[in-house]
């Protein structure tokens, strides 16, 4: 990709916003037809039933998140998901943000149906435990996403801070147990997105979402987590690939982290 192409896909103002606030949004990085094709794949996956280790819905469960659980590491079972995780446009933005080659560590797909709980404010690197440095998320919107259907909120500037040891989340509002209160003087701000927009954010940025309070709107999203090639360790759950799709194993992070034990991303609905 040429410097001119890179300037078009990630203007300097967006890169500076990432440095200053810990997140930035690239609007329309993917086309509507690409997003529709991705959603079709996951609709078919849901209709086909469970894939052990990746997707295990419980159709009769009263919890919407059990009927439509998130899909873990879908790039390992879907060529379309793998293509999104390793997409050259994502790679270009990520390498501009990180200043080095990137490795893909994880993919997820969220359905988040009406009535679903959200995920309390948290920091991604609490789970990935990348050392040195941190991870970066590329959060691809697959629907119109706002506060009504449980869109993300971020706490700008927290990427400059250390990891916080979380408190207990409200289980009526969050499927995850961890909750990081906003630091004094800082306030979560919503990030509204349209299909094909991508929110990029630092792994130390405090972020989360509330419940989907809409009557009939899903909040579907595809998320990739990435690390810089200079990373030396990551939690054992994650299986890193280069952006050509070749496995690049990293040693597991040592110890239990600064806050002791924790629940990996893959252990929640």
Q: Is 267 inside any structural domain?
A: no
**CA dist list (Å): 116 to 95, 162, 218, 246:** 34, 30, 9, 35
What range does the domain containing 84 cover? 13-49+65-251
258 is a domain residue: no
Instruction: Determine phi and psi for 190, rounding to 5 degrees.
Output: -75, 150
Note the pLDDT tens digit of each residue in 46-59.
Answer: 999 999 999 999 99
What CATH code is carried by the domain that includes residue 189?
2.60.120.620
* Residue 56, in any domain of the structure: no
CB under 8 Å to 161, separation ≥6 — which residues? 183, 204
Answer yes or no: is pLDDT of 256 > 80. Answer: no
Per-residue pLDDT at 4 exceeds 50: no
d(CA 181, CA 120): 9
Q: What percent of the chain has pLDDT over 90?
A: 91
Residue 28 domain-assigned (yes or no) = yes
**Binning pLDDT at 50, 70 and 90, where does residue 6 land?**
low
Q: Is the pLDDT of residue 236 over 50?
A: yes
Work out the average pLDDT over 232-240. 96
pLDDT of residue 266: 42
What pLDDT, on a 0 to 100 scale, did the predictor assign at position 196?
A: 98
Nearest to 194 by CA among 159, 149, 157: 149
Whether 265 maps to a domain, the answer reads no
Query: Do 235 and 252 touch, CB atoms closer than 8 A?
Result: yes
Q: What is the mean pLDDT of the chain?
A: 94
Residues 123-145: what's their mean pLDDT?
97
Residue 268 covered by a domain: no
Which residues, at least 6 apart from 18, have a Cβ–Cβ distance to it below 8 Å? Answer: 24, 97, 200, 201, 202
Considering Cα of 104, then 38, then 54, then 115, what sign does the dihedral take?
Answer: positive
Q: How confident is the model at residue 3 (pLDDT cuts 50, 70, 90)?
A: very low
What's the number of domains the chain is made of?
1
Q: What is the mean pLDDT of residues 77-102?
A: 97
pLDDT the model gives residue 100: 97
Whose CA is closest to 143, among 217, 41, 33? Answer: 217
**Inside any domain, residue 54:** no
Q: Please give the model's pTM, rounded to 2 decimal places.
A: 0.94
Confidence of residue 267 (pLDDT cuts 50, 70, 90): very low
At 9 the pLDDT is 80
**pLDDT above 90 for 75:** yes
Residue 7 pLDDT grade (very low, low, confident, very high; cuts 50, 70, 90) = low
60: in domain: no
């Amino acid at each position: 990709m040429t410097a001119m192409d890179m300037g078009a896909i990630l203007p300097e103002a967006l890169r500076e916003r990432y440095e200053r606030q810990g997140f930035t949004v690239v609007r329309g990085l993917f086309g509507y037809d690409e997003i529709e094709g991705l959603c079709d794949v996951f609709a078919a996956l849901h209709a086909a039933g469970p894939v052990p280790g990746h997707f295990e819905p419980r159709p009769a469960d009263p919890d919407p998140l059990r009927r439509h659980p998130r899909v873990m590491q879908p790039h390992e079972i879907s060529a379309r998901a793998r293509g999104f995780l390793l997409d050259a446009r994502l790679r270009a933005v990520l390498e501009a943000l990180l200043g080095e080659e990137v490795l893909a560590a994880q993919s997820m797909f969220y359905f988040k149906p009406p009535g679903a709980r959200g995920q309390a404010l948290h920091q991604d690197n609490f789970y990935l435990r990348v050392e040195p440095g941190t991870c970066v998320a590329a959060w691809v919107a697959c629907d119109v996403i706002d506060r009504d259907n449980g869109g993300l909120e971020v706490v700008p500037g927290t990427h400059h801070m250390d990891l916080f040891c979380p408190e207990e989340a409200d289980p009526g509002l969050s499927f995850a147990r961890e909750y990081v209160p906003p630091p004094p003087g800082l306030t979560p701000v919503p990030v509204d997105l349209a299909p094909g927009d991508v929110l990029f954010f630092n792994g130390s940025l405090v972020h989360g979402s509330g419940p989907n309070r809409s009557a009939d709107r899903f909040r579907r999203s595809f998320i990739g987590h990435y690390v810089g090639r200079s990373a030396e360790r990551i939690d054992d759950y994650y299986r890193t690939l280069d952006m050509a799709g070749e496995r690049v194993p990293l040693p597991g992070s040592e110890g239990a982290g600064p806050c002791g034990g924790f629940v990996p991303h893959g252990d929640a609905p």
